[in-house]
Amino acid sequence: MDPLTLLSLAVDSGGAVSILYLLGIFIYSFASAVFLPIPVEAVLTDASPIPEALALAFGKALGALAIFYIGSSIEKAIYNWNRWGWFRWFLDKTERFVRVAGIFAIYFLNSVPVMSDTVINYLFSLLNKEGKLIDVRLFVLSNFLAGINRALLYIAVFSAIF
- Higher per-residue confidence, 150 vs 132: 150
Asked if the model's pLDDT at residue 84 lies above 80, the reply is: no
* pTM assigned to the model: 0.81
- Over the stretch 18-31, which tens digit does the pLDDT of each residue have? 888 899 999 999 99
Non-local (6+) Cβ contacts of 24 within 8 A are 10, 43
Radius of gyration of the chain (CA): 17
- Over the stretch 131-144, which tens digit does the pLDDT of each residue have? 677 889 999 999 99
C-beta separation of 67 from 121 below 8 A? yes
What pLDDT is attached to residue 29? 93
DSSP character at residue 18: P
Asked if the model's pLDDT at residue 13 lies above 50, the reply is: no
